[in-house]
Amino acid sequence: MDQKPQLESRPNGDIPKSPATIGVSDENGHPININESQSFRRLSSPSPSYLGSTPSQSYLGSTPPQSFRRRCDSMTKTEDGDQNESKVLVIYTGGTIGMIRNDDNMLVPTPSNGNSTDFLMEHKMRQDHRLYDAKYAQHKYGASMNCSPLVLPMVKGFRRIVYSVYQYPELLDSSNMCMRDWRSIAEDIWQAYELYDGFVVLHGTDTLAYTASALSFMFENLGKTIIITGAQLPVFDLRSDGSDNFVTSLLMAGNYCIPEVTILFHNKLLRGNRTVKVDCESFAAFDSPNLAPLAVIGIDINVSFRQIFRPRSIEKFAVHLQLDENVSLLRIFPNITADTVRTFLQPPIRGVVLQTYGAGNLPGNRADIMAELKAATDRGVIVFNCSQCFKGSVTAVYQTGHVLNQVGVISGNDITPEAALAKLSYVLSKDDWDLSTKRMMLGANLRGEMSGGPPKPARKNRAADEWDLVDAVARTLLHVNGSQELTALGGVLFPAMLGNAVARSDLSKLDELKGFGADFSAQNADGRTALHLACALGDVRIVRYLLLNGASVHIKDKFDRTPLIDAVENDRNDVVALLRRCGAHLNSPAKHVGQQLCNAAAKGNLQRLRSYAAAGADPYSANDMYGRTPLHAAALTNQTEVVEYLLSLHVAVFALGHVDAGPPADLLGVTPVDVARAAGHAVLAEKLQQHFKNPNGYEKKQLPQLNGDGVEHKEKA
């Protein structure tokens, strides 16, 4: 979907009542009260300017959303000078993790209304030193610290996490969760997608696996980490799995680029659409029976990067909000009647998940049931077969399983019932797919939800077939033994070999490394990936290949540089356009981008300004920490060509009503006209003066029409 839709508003109260007070401040960093009339507004389309900027910069003078998005934007208001931080949005939908104990020691939800903030989850978090670093927040936000984003205490070896909490006005018991609620969560993440590095959803455990499965299909071309977590005991209890799950989720979401919808529970990060709830009493409440964890958390966090399912297309992140509700789940049991099966398959049902015995078997002597299934598939009902077993997959080993294939039932391989239901609903909602395409896509591995996929290309070195490349090198060295040492060696070898292949534009070598299982998002010691290097070199062919093979556009190196920044600062505009098509966006602090634009303008580097504009920045409205714009810098150094370019941008945005007609002023009230005059550039000063008197007539009054002395114009001024 190309546009973010406007949905129903969600009421918010004043700050003392608000369920989601996350850093509402004015231009000077002072707290702002949000009236009850201000509502949760959805964006109809992305801002044309730099989406990582402050509200005024993001919306270029248009009316900004008053509630949720405004608080998201305010994260960048006062943190522009800070480095090595990651921003995470926490969405609290409900569940045990956020509950508190009442006077009777009973667990109750944190209310979202009332006259006191004592029960708001965010307010409780501010009182918990495990979840909030008050000293750092005081240094960072000053007097507005109590209405600014929360800051997690520093953890050695990780980026510091700055996080905002959005608590739903009406907390949801996960047993009451439905498709409407999945859409709400998906939408909230969608509209804040470019403002945060990662997302954490706090959710009740009963239907958590259903939500994770559904979101995994709704999110198309996902490029950032989304973690859903919950708890068996509240996060505020002294003895709790909630605090561990929550803190680890924040660290993972802000420090690792794992572009999947995942579930973090009891020191394991699991793929969301592979997970089932297995225990209602143990802290290890979830498991992924047919897939190893994506990460295991102990003293160290060990991530299985090669197992991560990455998008392999050059498309932006999008959300498919429509799900088909006419789906159901039918579990086969002894003595089930044909009437029961027939009833399940009647309209308006369009798809059924059929849970069969063992490896996908039905009773071989039940021709009546087979007849009902065949009749349903003949009239267009899709039947999706998955096993009742906790572990294993559907196969056609037995005759009864083979017969199901013959009557049109689609094999779900080792998919879970939760994922099967979500996938069926997603596929059926694709109106642009015909029935044949829907059946084909249902049997394909779309999001890593079941085993299978395109075969790996053949290796050129057939002698290495028994081991992967790292193991082969280790055997050659004869001194490397054990899985940990092999993993460490692979972490050094693969980034180096990928970088070498990229530097030599060697597609065949990249193909060979892909055959050996190389992760194209692997980072070297500086945190740089092969995509960083390819973007800096400007090799569009290599960049395209890497993107189509799972390279991430959102990974930051140790200096907070993304591949997009490397392309911009090397003026690789073809690469910039390709990255933008893939959903890349500027995530540097707004003031940092403004400073870079001012530097380029002062040096007359018009190409750099255009590169930043291609990446989504606004060279006209951007400003540095002192409020100076690139137009100030160009006026100071008499860069007439740059001035012409910036004024043409002003004409465009002024025509849209996004900026005022007058010149921009810095924090001291100095305009570019003042700067040009003070620097002795009289002709340029007059040009600027005339432009801001009549922006609409700018194109008819170019610089050559000025007489040079500017006497007449100065008298008019």
Catalytic residue set: 205
**Polymer length in residues for the chain:** 717
Contact between 225 and 198 (Cβ < 8 Å): yes
Q: Which residues pair with 318 in a beta bridge?
A: 220
Q: How many angstroms separate the CA atoms of 134 and 686, rounded? A: 51
Q: How many angstroms separate the CA atoms of 187 and 630, rounded? A: 35
Indicate the DSSP class of residue 357: B
Q: Which residues pair with 150 in a beta bridge?
A: 163
Q: Compute the Cα dihedral for 638, 644, 649, 654 and give only its sign.
A: positive
Contact between 474 and 485 (Cβ < 8 Å): yes
Indicate the DSSP class of residue 55: H
Q: Is 194 helix (H, G, I), strand (E, B) or coil?
A: helix
- Phi, psi (deg, nearest 5) at residue 262: -120, 165
Q: How many angstroms separate the CA atoms of 506 and 514, rounded? A: 13
From start to end of 80-137, where are the E strands?
A: 85-92, 100-101, 107-108
Instruction: State both tokens at 495.
Output: 């980034």
Rg (the chain; Cα; Å): 28
Contact between 320 and 190 (Cβ < 8 Å): no
Q: Where are the alpha helices (DSSP H) in 208-312?
A: 208-218, 242-255
Contact between 578 and 547 (Cβ < 8 Å): yes
Distances (CA, A) of 701 to 293, 650, 681, 690: 65, 14, 18, 8
669 CB burial (10 A radius; 0-12, 13-18, 19+): exposed
Instruction: State both tokens at 128.
Output: 């918990």
Q: How many angstroms separate the CA atoms of 217 and 219, rounded? A: 5
Instruction: State both tokens at 44.
Output: 């109809």
From start to end of 563-628, where are the E strands?
A: none
Amino acid at 671: T
**Which of 262, 276, 302 has its CA nearest to residue 209?**
276
Amino acid at 662: G
> Residue 303 contacts by C-beta under 8 Å, 6 or more apart in sequence?
256, 258, 269, 294, 295
Instruction: State both tokens at 536.
Output: 């800096």
> Residue 105 contacts by C-beta under 8 Å, 6 or more apart in sequence?
none
Q: How many angstroms separate the CA atoms of 255 and 12, rounded? A: 31
Q: Which residues pair with 329 in a beta bridge?
A: 353
Q: How many angstroms separate the CA atoms of 99 and 329, rounded? A: 32
Ramachandran sector of residue 251 (left: φ over 0; alpha: ψ -120 to 50; beta: rest): alpha
Range 365-368 contact pairs with CB under 8 angstroms and sequence separation of 24 or more: 366/338, 368/338
Q: How many angstroms separate the CA atoms of 708 and 704, rounded? A: 9
Q: Is 353 helix (H, G, I), strand (E, B) or coil?
A: strand
Which uninterrupted H or E stretch holds 631? helix 630-636
Q: How many angstroms separate the CA atoms of 125 and 119, rounded? A: 10
